[in-house]
């Protein structure tokens, strides 16, 4: 990586937890997009660590 590069990370669960199954049952949600555990982060590299 070098200075100015942009890094984006997204994580989400791939399995249904018991609480998700109950929520989906009560609210009638279906499909693979019905997950609720999601995290994302983006950042820009400000220095490359070479000391230049």
Q: What is the pLDDT of residue 6?
A: 95
Q: Are 4 and 44 in contact (CB under 8 A)?
A: yes
What are the structure tokens assigned to 12, written together?
Answer: 């989400």
This model's pTM is above 0.85: no
What are the structure tokens assigned to 30, written together?
Answer: 């279906």
Half-sphere exposure of 33 (CA within 13 A, CB side): 0
Q: What is the pLDDT of residue 32?
A: 52
Q: What is the pLDDT of residue 43?
A: 95
Q: How do the domains of the chain map onto residue ranges?
A: 6-44
What are the structure tokens assigned to 43, written together?
Answer: 């950042």
pLDDT tens, position by position, 1-52: 888 999 999 998 878 788 888 887 888 766 655 557 789 999 999 987 776 5
Residues recorded for the chain: 52
CA distance 20 to 23: 5
């Amino acid at each position: 990586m070098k200075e100015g590069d942009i890094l984006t990370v997204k994580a989400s669960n791939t399995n249904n937890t018991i609480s998700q199954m109950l929520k989906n049952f009560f609210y009638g949600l279906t499909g693979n997009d019905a997950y609720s555990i999601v995290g994302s982060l983006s950042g820009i590299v400000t220095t490359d660590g070479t000391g230049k």
